[in-house]
């Protein structure tokens, strides 16, 4: 029945109550089988049609048929609809008369009201110049005696607009431009005398012109819902291919260029796996492709991939392939792990892999190869045709143990908000558990606008710690985790001053380094971790795989500049420079304290004679006098110049003489 309703509205363009009339004529037997004798109302049909824009079960009905059975069903329904239209099942009644017929109530205008009179009493409101004439379906006149205000029926919501038989949508008129309700009157037509205009008691504004409502159109057709043609594939299956696909089907496969199949690599890979045995092909000791597991070691990676291997691997067929799949999107991996945990009950793990350790020739980006096979063979099945693998990479042969940074249990990652409730606001696993697409989930996460503040920085640090990232991990690995959380979970970043960004980075580092584990972390590593956090936040402002195209890189830089993170390294270097200036000022203070306290010694006996002898010795040795000299700040004079001159001025012999003077009994 839904298929028939879709054809009645989308193809035959039947509007108004005529939809119900044609629908009841086509499905009379089905309605009678359910005990409903012509009970399909216009409201119910319109409500069902509105669900086609949001409900999943309507998608297969609206889209063109893909099998011969669906095509035959639509042809039979089209024939029934045409037969119903030829038999006169499409009346030209408006919505008001059909509602009265359903209720079985008489016309609201009785015979007494329909009799003409010579003089009419004026209404309390002045007539509107925008009042329109009666519709062409009605030849009724305005009743002679106006209905009292207390007995006037308030127009129902369905009276807001009328669908004429010609498909024209009549908008609702404004309150001031309404006229009295119309009805059909039996008997001769009598022309009524015009009303006398009476001045209003108070000045009234001119009635506003009614705004026409947009005509309600059928559901928007997707680009793939054009005319489709049956096409026999190489494996013998028949599909309904659109014209766009027919233009490329059957063409020879072309080798993917090197710069497209191997774009700039990300800084971190993720892989979800279920470890069955410690020496399984998927374990923390490494990952081996099914084709080479318990077999000969894989050979050197080829320059390009075999199309059959790509088809078998992405089609998820039980065929051994030479690839190990990885992803560079954390939220995609976590969504996959949650789905496997809900459906299969598999308690898997997520591995963090460093791509720089793997041979660069062995890594391929999946989308170009999928696009080539899908557009020219159309052999992907079970949804693999629509999955292009934007965040999937193929690793040829195996992933060595040296490339695995750490592994984490999925259950531990999902239970993290229990021990740290503030993470529930960031991760929002309740949204990820939904069966909707990941794109819709990410849109909903962004719409909630969770701010990127010190609380969020603490949550990101806890996630990185749980996944096994430490202070000894590469800086780019820490940045990738931070950027994936900021971008994937849609954390809202506003403009901040450099000092504010330094405070948030400081919060991240403190939480990240709480369980030190006995590893000493110096000031240089602390500053490096701060830079890693800010660098990850900057990359989190752009799209995934932003480094693949110059325009996406420019877009990322523009967004980073809008929040004050165009140059994170400058924010950290300015802090380090401030430390240098502070240390230099402290050195000057210490240099002043290192001067000998000679003023109190002038009162002691024999001190003046000894000082003259020391001055004579200094002149003989050629030492400079340092009493009135002060160290000058700047690059030309290092901070240790003053202390070194003091050391040269007081050698060992002079120090012995001073001791005799200072500690003489």
Query: For the segment 621-659, what is each residue's pLDDT rounded down to a tens digit?
Result: 444 444 444 444 444 444 444 445 555 555 544 444 444
Q: Which of 527, 551, 582 is the last residue of a domain?
A: 582
Per-residue confidence (pLDDT) for residue 39, from 0 to 100: 66
Distance CA 395, CA 404 (A): 13
- My answer on whether 574 and 503 are in the same domain is yes
- My answer on whether 578 and 486 are in the same domain is yes
In a domain, 325, yes or no: yes
Task: Record the pTM.
Answer: 0.55
Q: Is the Cβ–Cβ distance between 189 and 139 less than 8 Å?
A: yes
Distance CA 7, CA 45 (A): 13
In a domain, 440, yes or no: yes
State the virtual CA torsion across 473, 474, 475, 481 in degrees, nearest 10: -70
Q: How confident is the model at residue 179 (pLDDT cuts 50, 70, 90)?
A: very low
Per-residue confidence (pLDDT) for residue 609, from 0 to 100: 56
Residue 333, SS3 per DSSP: helix
In a domain, 108, yes or no: no
For residue 540, how many other CB atoms are within 10 A of its CB?
26
In a domain, 197, yes or no: no
Q: Give pLDDT tens digits for 28-47.
A: 878 777 766 656 778 888 88
- My answer on whether 382 and 492 are in the same domain is no
- My answer on whether 275 and 375 are in the same domain is yes
Residue 170, SS3 per DSSP: strand
Q: Which of 414, 444, 464 is the last residue of a domain?
A: 414
For residue 441, how many other CB atoms are within 10 A of its CB?
21
- My answer on whether 568 and 608 are in the same domain is no
- My answer on whether 309 and 382 are in the same domain is yes
Question: φ, ψ for residue 148 (rounded to 5)?
Answer: -60, 155
**Taking 90 as the threshold, does the pLDDT of residue 480 lie above it?**
yes
- My answer on whether 254 and 348 are in the same domain is yes
In a domain, 539, yes or no: yes
Of the ranges 158-162, 174-178, 279-283, the best mean pLDDT one: 279-283
Q: Is the Cβ–Cβ distance between 167 and 217 less than 8 Å?
A: no
Distance CA 296, CA 303 (A): 20
- My answer on whether 269 and 404 are in the same domain is yes
- My answer on whether 275 and 245 are in the same domain is yes
- My answer on whether 242 and 344 are in the same domain is yes
Q: How confident is the model at residue 12 (pLDDT cuts 50, 70, 90)?
A: confident
Q: Is the Cβ–Cβ distance between 14 and 90 less than 8 Å?
A: yes
Burial class (CB in 10 A: 0-12, 13-18, 19+), 348: buried
- Strand blocks (E) in 392-515: 392-396, 398-399, 404-409
Structural domain that includes position 34: 2-95
Structurally, the chain folds into a number of domains equal to 4
> For residue 392, what is the domain's CATH number?
3.90.210
- My answer on whether 474 and 546 are in the same domain is yes
In a domain, 167, yes or no: no
- My answer on whether 328 and 444 are in the same domain is no
Q: What is the DSSP letter of 517?
A: T
In a domain, 198, yes or no: no
In a domain, 148, yes or no: no
Q: Which of 95, 117, 150 is the last residue of a domain?
A: 95
Q: Is the Cβ–Cβ distance between 1 and 27 less than 8 Å?
A: yes
Q: Is the Cβ–Cβ distance between 369 and 280 less than 8 Å?
A: no
């Amino acid at each position: 029945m839904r298929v028939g309703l879709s054809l009645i509205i989308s193809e035959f363009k039947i509007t108004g109550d005529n939809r119900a009339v044609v629908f009841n004529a086509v499905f009379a037997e089905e309605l009678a089988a359910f005990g409903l004798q012509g009970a399909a109302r216009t409201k119910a049909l319109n409500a069902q049609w509105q669900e086609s824009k949001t409900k999943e079960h309507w998608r297969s009905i609206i889209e063109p048929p893909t099998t011969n059975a669906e095509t035959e069903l639509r042809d039979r329904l089209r024939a029934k609809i045409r037969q119903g239209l030829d038999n006169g099942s499409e009346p030209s009644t408006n919505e008001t008369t059909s509602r009265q017929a359903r209720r079985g109530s008489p016309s609201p205008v009785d015979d007494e009201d329909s009799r003409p009179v010579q003089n009419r009493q004026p209404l309390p409101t002045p007539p509107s110049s925008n009042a329109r004439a009666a519709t062409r379906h009605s030849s009724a006149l305005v009743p002679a005696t106006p209905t009292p205000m207390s007995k006037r029926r308030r127009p129902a919501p369905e009276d807001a607009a009328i669908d004429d038989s010609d498909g024209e949508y009549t908008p609702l008129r404004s309150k001031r431009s309404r006229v009295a309700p119309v009805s059909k009157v039996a008997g001769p037509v009598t022309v009524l005398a015009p009303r006398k205009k009476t001045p209003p008691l108070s000045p009234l504004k001119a009635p506003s012109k009614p705004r026409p409502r947009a005509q309600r159109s059928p559901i928007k057709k997707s680009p793939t819902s054009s005319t489709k043609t049956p096409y026999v594939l190489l494996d013998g299956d028949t599909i309904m291919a659109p014209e766009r696909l027919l233009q490329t089907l059957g063409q020879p496969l072309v080798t993917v260029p090197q710069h497209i199949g191997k774009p700039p690599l990300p800084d971190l890979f993720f892989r979800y796996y279920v470890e069955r045995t410690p020496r399984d092909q998927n374990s923390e000791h490494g990952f081996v492709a099914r084709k080479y597991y318990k077999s000969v070691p894989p050979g050197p990676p080829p320059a390009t991939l075999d199309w059959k291997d790509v088809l078998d691997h992405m089609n998820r067929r039980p065929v051994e392939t030479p690839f190990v799949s990885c992803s560079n999107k954390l939220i995609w991996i976590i969504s996959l792990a949650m789905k496997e945990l809900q459906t299969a009950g598999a308690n898997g793990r997520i591995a963090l892999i460093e791509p720089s350790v793997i041979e660069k020739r062995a890594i391929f980006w999946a989308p170009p190869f999928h696009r080539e096979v899908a557009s020219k063979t159309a052999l992907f099945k079970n949804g693999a045709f629509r999955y292009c693998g934007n965040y999937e990479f193929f690793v040829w042969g195996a992933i060595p143990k040296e490339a695995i940074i750490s592994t984490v249990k999925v259950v531990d990652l999902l239970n993290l908000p229990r021990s740290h409730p503030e993470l529930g606001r960031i991760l929002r696993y309740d949204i990820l558990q939904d069966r909707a697409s990941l794109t819709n989930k990410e849109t909903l996460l962004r719409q909630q606008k969770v701010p990127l503040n010190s609380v969020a920085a603490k949550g990101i640090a806890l996630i990185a710690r749980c996944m096994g990232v430490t202070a000894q991990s590469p800086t780019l690995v820490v940045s990738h985790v931070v950027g994936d959380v900021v971008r994937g979970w849609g954390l809202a970043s506003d403009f901040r001053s450099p000092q504010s960004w330094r405070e948030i980075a400081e919060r991240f580092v403190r939480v990240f380094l709480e369980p030190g584990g006995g590893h000493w972390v110096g000031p240089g590593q602390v500053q490096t971790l701060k830079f890693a956090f800010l660098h990850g936040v900057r990359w989190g402002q752009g799209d995934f795989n932003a480094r693949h195209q110059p325009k996406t890189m420019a877009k990322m830089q523009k967004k980073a500049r809008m929040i004050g993170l165009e140059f994170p390294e400058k924010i950290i270097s300015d802090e380090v420079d401030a430390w240098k200036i502070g240390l230099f000022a402290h050195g000057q203070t210490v240099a002043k304290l290192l001067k000998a306290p000679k003023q109190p010694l002038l009162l002691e006996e024999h001190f003046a004679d000894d000082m003259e002898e020391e001055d004579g010795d200094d002149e003989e040795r050629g030492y400079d006098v340092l009493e009135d000299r002060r160290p000058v700040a700047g690059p030309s004079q290092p901070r240790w110049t003053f202390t070194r001159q003091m050391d040269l001025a007081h050698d060992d012999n002079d120090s012995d003489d001073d001791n005799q003077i200072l500690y003489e009994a």
